Structure formats: C-alpha cells, structure tokens
C-alpha cells in the first residue's frame, strides 16, 4: 500500500493548522519545535541567539560558556605572546611553556577584572589590549548574567510525554491515547490540550497532507498534578474511523499536540508541544497505571518511570471498516 491513504475521510479538514498541504517531513519535532528550515536570510538574522541560549539544555549551556571562556582567553594569550612577554612584568621566563601559561592566566584575570597584581602590562600595546579585554569581559559577564537570569526566570510547563501513542480499547470501540505528566514541583492549573492530525492522502495521484482536529474526551482539567491520559475516541466523527492496523502502519500520520496551562507561581501561561508519527503509534496496547496510594494512604505516589510502560491487549473484534 502506498504511504498516502486513498480512502476518503468523512471529516472536513481544517485550514488553521499553520502548515501547508504540500509541506513535507515531520511537522513538529519531539521537542516541540517546528521542523522548518529557513532560507533567504543569513545566519545572524535567521537565529535569535537569546532564544537559542535559553532553549539549550543546562549541560550544553554551561559547556558553551566554559568553551567560550577558554577560547577567548587563549586568543588574548596569543595576542599578548605576539606582542612580547617582555611587555608583561612578573612572567616566569624559565621556558616558553611557562611563559604561555602565565600569559593565559593573566588574560583570564584581566577578562574577569580580578587583577591579582603579580603580572601587569608594560607599554602602550600591552596596556591597550588589556584595557579592551577588561571592557569585553565586563560586557560578556553582563550578557552571561542576563542569560542565567532568563533561564531561571523563564516559566516552563515541565511536562513529560509518553514516547508512544497507543490504539487501545475504549468503551464500545477503540481510541487513540497518549499521556503526559508534570515532572517538577510547579503548580499548573486550567490545563487544556489541542490535538490535531496530519494525514497524507492521494488526490489525483499526488500526495498531500490534510489536517483534522481531533475531538478529545476530556480536553481541559482544573489541576494538572498527576498524569493525564489524552483520549480520542475513534468513532464515525474521527478521521481514523475505519483505519486498520495496516492503515496506521502504511499511512503517513502525525499527531500534533499542544498543551496550555496556567503556572500559578509565575502567574503566566505556559505552552508545550510534541507530536507522534506513524511509527510511534502502537496498535493494540494500553498504558500501565503510573500512580498509586502510598503505604500509609496519606498521599499519592506518581511513578514517572512508568510513563512509557504499556501492555499489549486485544482490541474489539468487530471494528467497523469505513465503506
């Protein structure tokens, strides 16, 4: 069977997805960012460096800062070394390696404006470079401080999604399900979810993507404290009505999710997105419960290690196939 689904879908496709019907590839990456590559602008206009640094993981952010710090000081150390170590007082001149090490640490002291005083510039060129380096250091640390503050003060949803969506038994039919859970101690309220799907269809021999809004059984909850299983019932109102396991496997399908909630600490709205493609939809499975009462029955234990756990199950045998 071709990747495009030829069966006519009853539901009317939506026009407000934000993506065109001739877009290709995955629309939303697992991390929630659109899978779009922009051309026609240079790298300085294409990227917002502030947003890029805020969106980096903590490890990469700190690694970039350390690498930049070392590289900048190495560059200035080479400049001082080219000017001549005789223009710096207090340098250990026993061998070239010791000279360069002393020059490097003088650069780091100047860049951070520590200035221990053992090594000092002598002459116009060395003093000029040291002055510029100290000025650059003040600007750099001011920017780094702003980035640190922005990363700590930025409100985020801190939601973890299951790696897979499942097609599970639900009431008298089946349903598409996935789940999410908050993994930090932030307080989220008035959470709502918007789920849509992109299905590749064949029209006049040409593949195109149609977008459909998926109806959710419970699309809004007052408090997001435990895990939340999102359920889309596959009935005659669903674009997946009549889909078999082979259809899910052989059709390009992407489930696009947007969760919006109110962070009570920041008093601000937070948003998080993700998506599931055909290969991440498991047919005939149901999630394992991930929360249970504590031993003393005084609290509830939410086991985030179980968010991806599921077990295979039998689906209703009489699944109506759309004619």
Which class does domain 156-312 fall in?
A: mainly beta
For 29, the token pair is 């990456």
pTM across the whole model:
0.79
**If you compute the radius of gyration of the chain from its CA atoms, what whole number of angstroms results?**
29
Report the SS3 class of residue 70: helix
Predicted confidence (pLDDT) per residue in 114-147, tens digit: 888 888 999 899 999 999 999 999 999 999 999 9
More confident of the two residues 202 and 2: 202
Contacts of range 62-66, beta carbons closer than 8 Å, 24 or more positions apart: 65/144
In the chain, CATH 2.60.40.1400 covers 156-312
Q: Say what percent of the chain tops pLDDT 70.
A: 90
pLDDT at residue 43 is higher than 80: no
- Which residue shows structure tokens 């930090």? 184
Predicted confidence (pLDDT) per residue in 155-213, tens digit: 899 999 999 999 999 988 999 999 999 999 888 999 999 999 998 877 777 778 889 99
**What stretches of the chain adopt beta strand conformation (E)?**
88-89, 120-121, 159-161, 165-170, 173-182, 188-203, 206-213, 220-223, 228-234, 253-263, 268-277, 281-283, 285-287, 291-293, 300-302, 310-312
Write phi, then psi, for 127 (nearest 5 degrees): -70, -35
Q: Which of 21-25, 47-51, 110-114, 226-230 has the weakest average pLDDT?
A: 21-25
Write phi, then psi, for 304 (nearest 5 degrees): -70, -20
Residue 130 and residue 89 in contact, taking contact as beta carbons nearer than 8 Å: no
Q: Give the integer Cα–Cα distance in Å for 187 and 270.
A: 11
In the chain, CATH 1.10.287.70 covers 44-153
DSSP bridge pairs for 220: 192
The whole-number pLDDT of residue 125 equals 93
Which class does domain 44-153 fall in?
A: mainly alpha
∠ at Cα 66 (147, 74), nearest 5°? 125
């Amino acid at each position: 069977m071709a990747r495009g689904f030829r069966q006519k879908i009853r539901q009317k496709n939506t026009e407000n997805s934000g993506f065109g019907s001739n877009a290709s590839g995955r629309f939303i990456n697992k991390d929630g960012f659109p899978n779009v590559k922009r051309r026609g602008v240079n790298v300085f206009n294409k990227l917002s460096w502030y947003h890029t640094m805020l969106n980096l993981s903590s490890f990469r952010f700190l690694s970039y800062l350390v690498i930049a710090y070392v590289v900048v000081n190495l560059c200035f150390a080479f400049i001082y070394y080219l000017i001549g170590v005789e223009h710096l007082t207090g340098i250990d001149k026993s061998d070239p390696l010791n000279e360069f090490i002393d020059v490097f640490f003088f650069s780091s002291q100047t860049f951070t404006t520590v200035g221990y005083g053992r090594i000092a510039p002598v002459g116009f060129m060395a003093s000029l470079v040291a002055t510029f380096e100290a000025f650059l250091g003040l600007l750099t640390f001011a920017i780094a401080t702003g980035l640190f503050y922005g990363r700590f003060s930025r409100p985020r949803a801190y939601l973890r999604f299951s790696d897979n969506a499942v097609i599970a038994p639900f009431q008298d039919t089946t349903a598409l399900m996935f789940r999410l859970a908050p993994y930090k101690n932030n307080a989220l309220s008035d959470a709502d979810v918007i789920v849509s799907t992109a299905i590749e269809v064949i029209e006049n021999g040409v593949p195109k993507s149609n977008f459909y809004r998926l109806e959710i059984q419970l699309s809004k909850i007052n408090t997001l404290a435990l895990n939340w299983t999102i359920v889309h019932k596959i009935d005659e109102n669903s674009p997946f009505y009549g889909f078999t396991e082979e259809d899910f496997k052989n059709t390009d399908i992407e489930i696009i999710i947007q969760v919006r909630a109110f962070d009570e600490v920041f008093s601000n709205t937070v948003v998080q997105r993700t998506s599931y493609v055909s290969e991440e939809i498991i047919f005939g499975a149901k999630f394992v419960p991930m929360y249970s009462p504590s031993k003393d029955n005084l609290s509830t234990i939410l086991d985030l290690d179980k968010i991806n756990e599921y077990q295979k199950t039998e689906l209703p045998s009489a699944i109506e196939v759309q004619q």
